[in-house]
Amino acid sequence: MNILDQIFEGGIVGCGGAGFPTHVKLNTQVEYFIVNAAECEPLLRTDRYTMKHRAHDIIDAVEAIGDQLMARKKVIALKGHYHDEIACLEAAISAKNSDVELFFLENFYPAGDEQIMVYEVTGRVIPPAGIPSAVNAVVSNVGTVAAIYDAMHGIPLTQKIITVTGEVNVPTIVSAPVGTPIQEVIDQGDPIPRRYTVILGGPLMGRRVGMDDISKEYVTKTSSGVIVLDEDSHLSGRRNTSIETMLRMAKSACIQCTFCTELCTRHMLGHPLMPHKIMRKLAYNSDVESILEDNDVKQALICSECGVCEEYACPMGLQPRRINKMLKTVYGQMKIRYQREERDEWVANEAREGRKVPSKRIAARMGVDQFYDYVINDCVEVEPREVCISTRMHIGAPAKPVVSVGDMVRKGTLIAAVGRDQMGANIHASIDGTVTYVDDSRIVIERN
Ligand code: SF4
Ligand code: SF4
What pLDDT does residue 288 have?
85
What pLDDT does residue 236 have?
65
What pLDDT does residue 238 have?
67
Which residue's CA is the nearest one to ligand 2's atom 2? Answer: 314
What pLDDT does residue 239 have?
65
Query: In whole angstroms, what is the distance from residue 104 CA to residue 116 CA?
Result: 13
Query: Rg of the chain over CA atoms, in angstroms?
Result: 22
Task: Return the domain boundaries, the chain.
Answer: 3-152, 158-233+367-384, 247-356, 385-448
Q: How many CA atoms lie within 13 A of 141 on its CB side?
A: 26
* 10-residue mean pLDDT series, the chain (448 residues): 96 89 97 96 95 98 98 98 98 98 98 97 97 97 98 98 97 98 98 95 93 97 96 73 81 93 98 96 84 95 97 94 95 94 92 96 94 94 98 94 98 97 95 98 97
What pLDDT does residue 241 have?
75
What pLDDT does residue 446 have?
98
- 331 CA distance to ligand 1 centroid (A)? 17
Which residue's CA is the nearest one to ligand 1's atom 4? Answer: 306
Topology of the domain covering 3-152: Rossmann fold (3.40.50)
What pLDDT does residue 284 have?
85
Return contacts of 88-97, CB within 8 angstroms, 24+ apart.
Answer: 88/51, 88/52, 88/55, 89/51, 89/55, 89/58, 89/59, 91/55, 92/55, 92/56, 92/58, 92/59, 93/59, 95/56, 96/56, 96/59, 96/60, 96/63
Which residue's CA is the nearest one to ligand 2's atom 4? Answer: 257
Ligand 2 near 257 CB (within 6 A): yes
Ligand 1 neighbours, Cβ below 6 Å, are 264-266, 273, 275, 303-309, 320-321, 324
Ligand 2 near 279 CB (within 6 A): yes
Q: How far is CA 37 from CA 9, 56, 102, 443, in A?
A: 25, 15, 10, 32
Topology of the domain covering 385-448: OB fold (Dihydrolipoamide Acetyltransferase, E2P) (2.40.50)
Model's pTM, two decimal places? 0.95
Topology of the domain covering 158-233+367-384: Ubiquitin-like (UB roll) (3.10.20)
Q: How far is CA 444 from CA 177, 207, 390, 431, 447, in A?
A: 13, 24, 9, 11, 10
